[in-house]
Amino acid sequence: MTAEAPHGAEAPPEFVQLLTPEGERVEHPDYDIDLTPAEIRGLYRDLVLVRRVDLEAVALQRQGELGLWASLLGQEAAQIGSGRALTDADMAFPTYREHGVAWCRGVDPVNLLGLFRGVNHGGWDPAEHNFHLYTIVIGSQTLHAVGYAMGIQRDGAVGEDGAASIVYFGDGATSQGDVNESFIWASVFNAPVVFFCQNNQWAISEPLERQTRIPLYRRASGFGFPGVRVDGNDVFACLAVTRKALADARAGQGPMLIEAFTYRMGAHTTSDDPTRYRVADELEAWKLKDPIERVRSYMFKNQVADQDFFDAIDAEADALGRDVRGRCLALPDPEPLAIFDHVYAEPNRLVDAERARFAAYLEGFEG
């Protein structure tokens, strides 16, 4: 340890990896997983298709068709691996970047685009997909997820056939009070919740070293529950670790923090220009750890798929891109008064008054 090394940073971070960037399968004593060739092909398909939807969304924003888009580029494995670990009964709480998890929950990508086009106010029914609405207020969804998990506990929906909640947040979010408070509640109530932190190294232009002096997963021990760092660009490892954390949570073993160590390969959002604050070398180094390439090379080397399969997936991705684009452009503009719908489940006097005032204002344009 040098004089400059931060306290608590003595031990090298542990890192669960099952597939190297070169596509070599490696063993892990705690988190191994047996995947059939069909399951591996399914994961590869998911990764490619969500990347394609994301690419189309960025292009649509650049063409003025979306107001904004937060790209998931580089984070596909973290999202597909964890998303495919969920059962139908589990509940997921996303940020604004979890398009891959939304895909796993069966949310139509056009609904996501509609939100960023400003023509829907969330677009999907959280109860139908067990996937909550996107959350822009950094970290707030961690409290919602813990509250939901405590509800699961009180409903007695525990055990093998029970449910757990999982909440997604970024490295920057770990500095929020909400996230730290949610850790405390989860810990002392032993709530069935998995904290899934995608450490993509950046919070807009703030680098990881402005959030923490110790690896993020080690924060969990101070709150009294386990934490683990997983290779966030390794879809097998993300699946294995999340599956175990969810099973433990359902079985009554309480919360777990998973730090998926990954990289935001694109801009923070389409409003951001990362060349202003990070060097090109960094991106080049992470390109070598691409989450899709390693699965592809593993599949090739192990005859899990042939060229026809890869060609078919590429064709499917192109067709999906075209379909999503077409349906996005065809989305109708909403009724102006629809913004007041679904604010509360029950009638609300304040919202009713605002609706009436806005309706009167709109009538001023008629005739």
Ligand X SMILES: Cc1ncc(C[n+]2csc(CCOP(=O)(O)OP(=O)(O)O)c2C)c(N)n1
Binding interface with Mg ion (CB under 5 A) = 170-171, 200, 203
CA-CA-CA-CA dihedral for 275, 277, 279, 282, to nearest 10: -100
Q: Supply the minimum distance, in Å, between the C-beta of residue 52 and ligand X.
A: 20
The smaller minimum CB distance to ligand X, of residues 40 and 260, is found at 260
Which partner, Mg ion, ligand X, none, binds residue 138 by CB below 5 to 8 Å per kind? ligand X
- With 0-12 / 13-18 / 19 or more C-beta atoms within 10 angstroms meaning exposed / middle / buried, residue 46 is buried
**Residue 73 C-beta: closest distance to Mg ion, Å:** 13
Name which of 133 and 157 has its Cβ closer to ligand X.
Answer: 133
Examine the residue annotation and report whether 277 is marked as an active-site residue of this protein.
yes
Catalytic residue among 51, 117, 218, 264: 264
**Radius of gyration, CA atoms only, the chain:** 21
Sheet containing 165-170, strands listed edge to edge, beginning at the edge strand earlier in sequence:
91-93, 165-170, 193-199, 256-261, 227-231
Residue type, 310: F
Other Cβ atoms less than 10 A from the Cβ of 127: the count is 9
- Tell me the closest approach of the beta carbon of residue 97 to Mg ion, in angstroms: 9
Rounded to whole angstroms, how far apart are CA atoms 228 and 243? 13
Backbone angles phi, psi at 288, to 5 degrees: -70, -15
C-beta of 19 vs 80, nearer to ligand X: 80
Residue 280 contact partner, candidates ligand X, Mg ion, none, CB within 5 to 8 A by sort of partner: none
Contacts with ligand X, residue ranges (CB under 6 A): 97, 136-138, 169-173, 200, 202-204, 264, 268
Q: Which of 338, 334, 292, 339 is nearest to 313 (CA)?
A: 292
Residue 186 contact among Mg ion, ligand X, none, beta carbon within 5 to 8 Å by kind: none
Tell me the sheet residues that pair with 275.
none
Nearer to Mg ion, 72 or 241 (CB): 72
Q: Closest distance between Mg ion and the C-beta of residue 172, in Å?
A: 5
Residue 268 CB, nearest distance to ligand X (Å)? 6
Contacts of 147 (CB under 8 A, 6+ apart): 185
Tell me which residue has its CB nearest to Mg ion.
Answer: 170
CA 134 to chain centre: 10
Structure tokens at 259: 């730090």
Residue pair 226/249 in contact (Cβ under 8 Å)? The answer is no
Identified catalytic residue from 51, 99, 268, 294? 268
Please tell me the distance from the alpha carbon of residue 82 to that of residue 97, in angstroms, as a whole number.
14
Is there a catalytic annotation at residue 213?
no
Q: List the catalytic residue out of 62, 210, 277, 342.
A: 277
If the CB atoms of residues 137 and 319 are measured against ligand X, the closer one turns out to be: 137
268 binds, among ligand X, Mg ion, none (CB under 5 to 8 A by kind): ligand X
DSSP state of 131: B
**Residue nearest to ligand X as judged by C-beta position:** 170
Nearer to Mg ion among residue 21 and residue 170 (C-beta): 170
Q: Write the CB contacts of 138 (distance below 8 Å, at least 6 apart in sequence).
A: 95, 169, 170, 172, 173, 176
Question: Is there a catalytic annotation at residue 99?
Answer: no
CB of 225 to ligand X, least distance (A): 20
Tell me the catalytic residues: 264, 268, 277
